[in-house]
A and B are shown apart, each in its own frame.
Chain A
Amino acid sequence: MNTLFTFGCSYTQGFNRSENNNFYRRFKEYRNGNLPKDWPTLLSEKLGFELKNYGEDASGNNQIFQEICSRCDEFNDGDIVIVGWTFIDRYRWVDYENNTWKKHGSGHIDENYITKSTHEEIVYNRTHPFYIEEIYNYEKIIDELSFNKKFKVYYWSAAENSIITNIPTEKLRKIKKYILSDQINLENNNLRQIITKKSGLTINEETNGFIPDDHLGESGHKVQSELFYKHIIN
């Protein structure tokens, strides 16, 4: 059996390993003790593939790419790899106490780990388009590896208004490796908007505002898996 590999941030991680996420715990309670299947799980079932989901919440693109680097020897002929890039301002910083990476993005930070001024300078610098170019350069080696090892690779972006959607529409339409490249554009049709148009809801909407989490809920994950499936099989 072939394997579907997924990499990305919380928009890929889905509900697995959700014990530490307060909103997901409440969502589970709200749903009488169960969580819906996330899009990687639904997609792997449609494809008849085993699933290895390496998505990890709050990851930035460097972290996501590092995960691909460390797992790439698992990819085989006929497998499918889906990479969900995330917001370019996210970065990682060493947590010296625990000797692990601490993930940061714009917004509130824990000043025990990094000063506000350092954080702000890093985030500001990371808004430059060079950090998007860096992603496209990473894709070059993944694409080459995919060609040589004969696995399929697809990309999408949770950062709706930068990575992938910044490619001129005419050029983007011809690039099959970008999921929904035939539909998305920068102005008014990013992935999230397409999911909404097809009645895919967020957790916030599905719980009538009871759980204020804007990640996708059951219907959203279902729509996302259907959209991805159609793109892949065509």
Chain B
Amino acid sequence: MNTLFTFGCSYTADFETGNLIPYLKYKEYRGGTYPKSWTTLLSEKIGMNIKNYGIGGTGNQSIFEQFCIHCNEINENDVVIIEWSFIHRYRISNDIIWRNISLGPLLETNNNEVHDVIIQDRTNKLYVDEVFNFINLIDEFSKSKKFKIFYWFAEEEMKERLSKDMVGIEKYIFWEKPLMGTVFDLGGITIREETKHIVGDDHFGELGHQIQSNIIYEHIKQHIN
């Protein structure tokens, strides 16, 4: 049986490994179970094993490095879906692990001025180009190993900047509207809405994941064996 590999940030990570405290509350609210994530649902639809390497909070450097670490596991006719995250996200080493950093003030003793400057630098389109260079290498690797590769973007700004080039290219899972908007239009709701604001988390809940898996399935089914 072939395998579906997924890489990305919290929008790809499973609830179990998403590294988010609200998920634990969500589990409690649901009586001790998580719903299936879009990655699991999709693997069931296409009849493949699933290896989900999404990690909550990660930026594109980390997402690409995860792909490098696991690239030797991918075989012919496997399917790989990479979600690129927000370009301002960066990482620093903190002696034990990579620490992923995003928008907003740093909570600890780190230098907020330096943080602001780095975030500002990372809004430049050169960081978008960097992602497209990663894509160039992954595409070449995909061709050489004969697996199917698809990409999508969590960052709407990044997607919009590139939309003209992306429409109609099969490797890009592209929605005319932003991802969140499309899922909402089709009836998807967030964890916050699903739990009537008891759990303050704006990632998709059960229905949202079902709709996301359907959208991605509709896109990829015509391109896979």
Contacts and interface: CB of A to CB of B under 8 A. Distances in A.
B73 to A, nearest CB: 10
B130 interface: yes
B222 interface: no
Given A101-B126, A137-B65, A145 B72 contact: no
Interface size class of A (residues with CB under 8 A): 20 to 34
A137 B69 contact: yes
Contacts of A140: 68-69, 71-72
A149 B144 contact: yes
B33 interface: no
Given A99-B124, A118-B117, A137-B65, A130 B93 contact: yes
A144 B146 CA distance: 13
Interface string B22-61: 0000000000000000000000000000000000000000
A72 interface: yes
A96 B124 contact: yes
Contact of B141 (A114, A125, A144): A144
Nearest to A143: B72
B17 interface: no
Interface stretch (A25-33, A62-70, A171-179): A62-70
B65 A145 contact: no
Contact of A69 (B126, B137, B145): B137
Contact of A117 (B113, B130, B145): B113
A66 B93 contact: no
B46 to A, nearest CB: 24
Contacts of A122: 114, 118
Contacts of B136: 69-70, 72-73
Given A99-B124, A121-B114, A144 B145 contact: yes
Interface of A: 66, 68-70, 72-73, 93-94, 96, 99-101, 114-115, 117-118, 121-122, 125, 128, 130-131, 134, 137-138, 140-141, 144-145, 148-149
8 contacts: A69-B133, A70-B133, A72-B137, A73-B140, A99-B125, A100-B126, A121-B114, A130-B93
